[in-house]
Structure formats: C-alpha cells, structure tokens
Amino acid sequence: MAEQRIRVGIVGAGANTRLRHIPGFREIPGVEIAGVVNSRPESTASVAAEYGIPKTYARWEDLIADPEIDAVQIGTYPNLHAAITCAALNAGKHVLCEARMAASLAEAQQMQAAAEAHPNLVAQIVPSPLGLECGEFVGELVRHRFLGELRELVVIGANDQFWDFSRLLHWRQQRDLSGVNVLMLGVLHETASRWVGPTSRVFAQANNFEATFPAPQGEIAMEATVPDSVQVVTQLANGARGLYHISGTILFGPPNQIHLYGSLGTIKVEFGAEEKVFLGRANEKAIRHMELPAEKKGHWRVEAEFIGAIRGQEPVRYTDFATGVQYMEFTEAVAISAESSRPVELPLTKLA
C-alpha cells in the first residue's frame, strides 16, 4: 500500500535544515520537499537549485497560503517562530519548528494555543539532540531506581564559543533574534528534564564578560544582549537540588554533561561525537564507563517521527509543544531571576 503523500514547505533553510531536515525528509517514501523560502531572494534561489526544490516564494506568507503545501518546516531565527507557526496551523498545515521554540514564553504559549485549537494537525518542536542516543537507557536506569532517591542534578555546558570578541556577533547573542535563552541552557535542560522531571524553583546570576562584538552588517561594534555566562541553582519538584554552569567565555572547559547523584548511585553522561554513560553504585570502588547495549541505542529520527505522526502511525515524543513551553518557562524564569537577583517559582503561570 502506497504511503500518504506529504508535501513539505521549508521556511528558512538554515544550517540544521540543510544538515538534518532535508536529508531526513528525503529518506521517507512519499514525502516531497515541494517549496522553500529564505529571507533573501538570492538565498532562496540558491537553496532551491542546490536541493532541486521545485517552488520558491517571495515571502513566507506565500508559502503558507499555497494549497499544495501540506506541512511546514520552520528554520528561521526564533523571533519569527510564533508568527509562522500560528499562521501555518491556522492555514491547516502541520508544523515542525526548529528549537528554540520561540523568542519568549508568551510567544511559545501563543503557539501552544494555536496547536490546541487545531488538534487534527501535528505540531512538533525539533528536540534537543542530546540524549537521543543514550536517553532511553538512562531513563530506564532512573525508573528502576539505580540512583535510589535523586539528590542532586549537575548540568554543565561551558566552552569558548564567544571567548574571542574579535569574531562577528552571533545571532544567539542578540536578544531580539534569539530571546532570553543562553547558549546550551535550554537544550541541556530539556534533556535533563526527560530524566528528572520538572523544576520548581530557580535562582540565577548571569554576566556578559565581552560586551561588544563586530556587527555582521558592517558597523564598528554591536552590543551582545544575551549573557555569555550563567549559573543557576534549582530545586526540582521531587525535592532534589540542581546546579547549572553554562558559559561561552571560558577556555578548556568541560564537555557538555549531565550528572545525576542519588542515595544509592551516580549516573554521569558526557555528550560529544558519541554519548558516554558512566555509572557507579554504593560499595563500588570507582565509577565505570558503561557501553550502551545496541538494542538500547536511540538515534535522530525527528523527520520520520513528524511524518509518522501526520500519517497516524506514531505520536510525537520529541518534542511536543507542551514540553517546549515547559523549557521556555525555565529559560524565562532564569532570565527573570538573573535580572532581579531573586528566586523565581515555577511554573510561571502561578505568578499570574
């Protein structure tokens, strides 16, 4: 039996779209990348020619209005995610939106409301890729109480991405484009939350050690409006405590990693070219590297999950809009706490 034909339109063919989404969609029978629009006409034409995409558009609104487009993949900067998502859903299109979900929690909530108003449509956020390989294995260990009672969570994402202030200002350093999320904070928090559940309180401090960078548009200098360093102390809903160290301005920092410390054992996960899991339990002499069983290894299948959900073959697991709103609440609470020098309770809706 032939698979349901699905025609995908791309709004914003950025790096991740080219690296993952276009190849991912092309591997699925019955899926056609039917149209594309970028911010500039010459870029739109270039992408269409490179990937053999038959239709181009002058504006993203034109792609949304095209009745021959069934689903929209959004790869723009976060400041456009809400407007494009809501328009696409209201036009009857399924949506796969690149993370970060939106530039603000309010925009993310607008997206969730639009998705809830169209329950017949699939609305998915591109998930944190961290933990897709080892996540099921680690989650199973936690569920089977390898840790005992979780006591502490440590999340580290510290590197030199923005250490060199002679480099051009990156869009992730511009609040009007990216929102308040800092570096790997949202990505690592999303992954950690899959294993430890929701956070109930945050207390944060943040700083910009390098305030200005050369501007991409050619001006002499431009201010970085997103911090390049943040530290967060948290309390989890289950009573455990957390500590986040996120920085883009240190040399020779540790790789991205998540530590789970419990009453009976410890799990440490390091993210890199491969995901490494280290385990240790009470009465053992040292922590040990655990090779993942082949049958427990996951992999990137975001596009396949999106199309499978449209075809009614599977649900969206990574990541639905409700989950996206949760990590948007966390990153917004961190920003509020850092700016006000006070702890912030979660969920933020409690403050309304």
- pLDDT class for 350, splitting at 50, 70, 90? very low
192 and 107 fall within a common domain: no
Residue 39's CATH number: 3.40.50.720
The rounded mean pLDDT for the chain is 94
Query: How do residues 251-293 score in pLDDT, each as one tens digit?
Result: 999 989 999 999 999 999 999 989 999 999 998 999 999 999 8
Q: What is the pLDDT of residues 27-80, one digit of tens each?
A: 999 999 999 999 999 999 999 999 999 999 999 999 999 999 999 999 999 999
One domain, residues 150 and 239: yes
Both 58 and 167 in one domain: the answer is no
d(CA 98, CA 308): 18
Task: Considering only residues 219 and 46, tell me which one the structure prediction assigns the higher pLDDT.
Answer: 46
Q: Are residues 223 and 285 in the same domain?
A: yes
Give the β-pairing of 31-37 and 6-11. Answer: parallel
Instruction: For residue 258, list its beta bridge partners.
Output: 155, 269
Say yes or no: 161 and 306 in one domain: no
- Around Cβ 34, how many Cβ atoms within 10 Å? 19
Same domain, 149 and 273: yes
CB proximity list for 40: less than 8 A, separation 6 or greater: none
pTM of the model: 0.93
| Token pair for 295 | 């049958």
- CATH code, 263: 3.30.360.10
Report pLDDT for 349.
Answer: 64
In a shared domain, residues 121 and 146: no
- One-letter amino acid of 158: A
pLDDT digits (tens, 9 = 90+) for 174-207: 898 999 999 999 999 999 999 999 999 999 999 9
Is 232 part of a structural domain of the chain?
Answer: yes
- CA-CA distance, 165 to 175, in Å (whole number)? 17
288 vs 281: CA distance, rounded Å: 10
Whether pLDDT at 132 is above 70: yes
187 lies in some domain: yes
CB 182 within 8 A of CB 268: no
Residues 96 and 181 reside in one and the same domain = no
Helix (H) or strand (E) holding 188: helix 185-196
| pLDDT on residue 351 | 39
Asked whether residue 330 is domain-assigned, the answer is no
Let me know if residue 89 belongs to a domain.
yes
Q: Do 75 and 141 fall within a single domain? A: no
Range of weakest confidence among 1-5, 135-139, 152-156, 331-335: 1-5
In the chain, pLDDT over 70 holds for what percent of residues?
Answer: 98
User: Does position 83 have pLDDT exceeding 50, yes or no?
Assistant: yes
Range 80-106 burial, b when 16+ CB lie within 10 A, else e: bbbbbbbbbbebebbbbbbbbbbbbbe
pLDDT band at 220 (very low <50, low <70, confident <90, very high): confident
Residue 352 has pLDDT above 90, yes or no: no
282 DSSP 8-state letter: T
Shared-domain flag, residues 145 and 112: no
Q: What is the distance between the alpha carbons of residues 65 and 92, in angstroms, rounded to a whole number? A: 10
Domain of residue 53 covers 6-126+301-319
Torsion angle, CA of 332/336/342/346, rounded to 10 degrees?
-30
Q: Side by side, which strands form the sheet with 55-56?
A: 55-56, 31-37, 6-11, 71-74, 94-97, 123-125
Per the DSSP assignment, residues forming a β-bridge with 32 are 7
Instruction: Say whether both 112 and 156 belong to one domain.
Output: no
In a domain, 94, yes or no: yes
Query: Which range has the worst mean pLDDT, 5-9, 290-294, 306-310, 340-344?
Result: 290-294
Position 349 in a domain: no
The total number of structural domains in the chain stands at 2
What is the pLDDT at residue 234? 98
> Are 153 and 293 found together in one domain?
yes
pLDDT at 112 over 60: yes
In a domain, 325, yes or no: no
Q: Give the model confidence (pLDDT) of 9-30 as tens digits.
A: 999 998 899 999 999 999 999 9
Residue 151's pLDDT is 98
> What is the predicted pLDDT for the residue at 173?
87
CA distances from 74 to 10, 36, 37, 111, 123 (A): 6, 10, 10, 13, 11
Specify if 350 maps to a domain.
Answer: no
Please report the pLDDT score of residue 1 as a whole number. 56
At residue 218, the pLDDT reads 67
Q: For residue range 162-177, what is the model confidence (pLDDT) as tens digits?
A: 998 888 888 888 898 9
